[in-house]
Amino acid sequence: MDGEEQQPAHEADVEPVVPSEASESVPRVLSGDPQNLCRPTDVDAFNLLLEMKLKRRRQRPNLPRTVTQLVAEDGSRVYVVGTAHFSDDSKRDVVKTIREVQPDVVVVELCQYRVSMLKMDESTLLREAQELSLEKLQQAVRQNGLMSGLMQMLLLKVSAHITEQLGMAPGGEFREAFKEASKVPFCKFHLGDRPIPVTFKRAIAALSFWQKVRLAWGLCFLSDPISKDDVERCKQKDLLEQMMAEMIGEFPDLHRTIVSERDVYLTYMLRQAARRLELPRASDAEPRKCVPSVVVGVVGMGHVPGIEKNWSTDLNIQEIMTVPPPSISSRVSRLAVKAAFFGLLGYSLYWMGRRTASLVLSLPATQYCLQRVTEARHK
């Protein structure tokens, strides 16, 4: 990350690219890039590592069936690994793909707000996912606002439910991608998902008040048992598309903001990563030479059809990065929720005060003191 100590050339650089303008979305040059090499000895070392990398890169890689290959206009290749987020098979698919193609860039479906899961071990993540505390709720509300924070906690509850059912922490495929990318010479590691606060705020803004109530109700009472076979079946496109169709029927605006818009964002980030690489030159007199790059994208299986659909289209991500102002109904509902909360809190304090006063007055010691005071007043 920016501000951290520079890593050796053979290690992966974690680089979140969060574009606010088109020029800022271009991946920055990090340590170990060919463009940073100027001395002849550096160029020789790079060429040696590149030769080793190309020898390990298979021209006809034996890829898992969950991998979709895309080709950019300049000939760069992108291998998109569709994963189930709670799946051991997905971890193996990611490892196999990176080892087969020896990529120049690895892009994962994470943003800077979720990057911490890359460096946590499985047991820590498992414990964190199962423990939803008031502190986490307060942090989510401060980060995303009241409604978006509550919705984030409800979705975390769903994740915790799956975690508890399977005994497996989410995001294992991203951690495997991070480990394998660090073993590939000159491989960058990009965070390719839209920032989660933007996604939640746009999702909440797209729903009506009653849709929010229905969604919250469904998430609160989710308790159906989930087996590992259920998760692995999600890797089948026909079942996944059926699930998506059911979701669209329930909350089409939610599907648009959480799935379709992120499909566009992920496609944009993959295309930004798939740019031709300029090889180092021993001197300025040598002509410039560029080669197509190889990229591995690790995303949820539900995003793969959207990425394929958007791959060859013109994309404008500025529109999906803005948060619309709250509607009048949203402001009214927010005030109603706050009024109900403080009203309930006030009534609870009033009721507790009356109960406490009644209990204190009923104590023998209190009765005795009151009796003595009454007698003193009548003397």
The per-residue pLDDT for 31 is 37
Greatest mean pLDDT among 183-187, 232-236, 337-341 lies in 183-187
What percentage of the chain's residues is helix, strand, coil (to nearest 5)? 60, 10, 30
Does 232 score more than 90 pLDDT?
A: no
Greatest mean pLDDT among 28-37, 178-187, 242-251, 320-329 lies in 178-187
Least confident segment among 11-15, 122-126, 256-260, 268-272: 11-15
What one-character-per-residue DSSP string does 258-271 give? IIIHHHHHHHHHHH
Summarize the confidence of residues 167-195 as an average pLDDT: 90
- State pLDDT tens for residues 241-288: 455 555 555 677 878 888 899 999 999 999 999 999 887 776 777 788
* Integer Cα distance of 275 and 105 in angstroms: 10
0.85 surpassed by pTM: no
Does 234 score more than 60 pLDDT?
A: no
320 touches 264 (CB < 8 A) = yes
Burial of 254 (0-12, 13-18, 19+ CB in 10 A): buried
Which residue type does 140 have? A
Q: When comparing pLDDT for 244 and 298, which is higher?
A: 298
The per-residue pLDDT for 93 is 96
Q: Which residue(s) pair with 68 in the sheet?
A: 80
311 touches 76 (CB < 8 A) = no
The per-residue pLDDT for 359 is 81
* Integer Cα distance of 43 and 281 in angstroms: 7
Q: Which residues of 115-148 are buried (b: 16+ CB within 10 A; e: fewer)?
A: bebbeeeeeebbebbeebeeeeeeebbeebbebb
Which residue type does 24 have? E
Instruction: Please provide the average confidence, as pLDDT, over all residues in the chain.
Output: 75
* Integer Cα distance of 341 and 94 in angstroms: 47
282 touches 37 (CB < 8 A) = no
The per-residue pLDDT for 371 is 78
Does 55 score more than 80 pLDDT?
A: no
The per-residue pLDDT for 293 is 93
Tell me the pLDDT band of 345, cut-offs 50, 70 and 90: confident
Does 42 score more than 70 pLDDT?
A: no
Summarize the confidence of residues 3-25 as an average pLDDT: 41
* Integer Cα distance of 135 and 289 in angstroms: 54
Angle, CA 31 vertex, CA 29 and CA 34 arms, to 5°: 70
Q: When comparing pLDDT for 174 and 37, which is higher?
A: 174
Greatest mean pLDDT among 107-121, 148-162, 340-354 lies in 107-121
Q: When comparing pLDDT for 339 and 26, which is higher?
A: 339
Tell me the pLDDT band of 74, cut-offs 50, 70 and 90: very high
280 touches 297 (CB < 8 A) = no
Tell me the pLDDT band of 240, cut-offs 50, 70 and 90: very low
Tell me the pLDDT band of 138, cut-offs 50, 70 and 90: low
Q: Domain residue spans in the chain?
A: 56-325, 331-376
Closest CA to 269 of 12, 4, 80, 67: 80
Name the packing angle between helices 146-166 and 122-130 (round to 10°). Answer: 120
Tell me the pLDDT band of 7, cut-offs 50, 70 and 90: very low
Does 337 score more than 60 pLDDT?
A: yes
Closest CA to 152 of 206, 216, 205, 208: 216
Angle, CA 263 vertex, CA 257 and CA 266 arms, to 5°: 120
CB atoms within 10 A of CB 347: 10
- State pLDDT tens for residues 299-333: 998 899 999 999 999 998 999 998 877 666 656 66
Phi-psi region of 57 (alpha: psi -120 to 50; beta: other; left: phi over 0): beta
Polymer length in residues for the chain = 379
* Distance between first and last Cα of the chain: 83
At 83 the three-state DSSP class reads strand
The per-residue pLDDT for 153 is 64
74 touches 276 (CB < 8 A) = yes
At 71 the three-state DSSP class reads strand
Tell me the pLDDT band of 28, cut-offs 50, 70 and 90: very low
CA neighbours closer than 13 Å in the CB half-sphere of residue 315 = 24
The per-residue pLDDT for 162 is 62
Does 223 score more than 60 pLDDT?
A: no
Closest CA to 240 of 301, 307, 306: 301
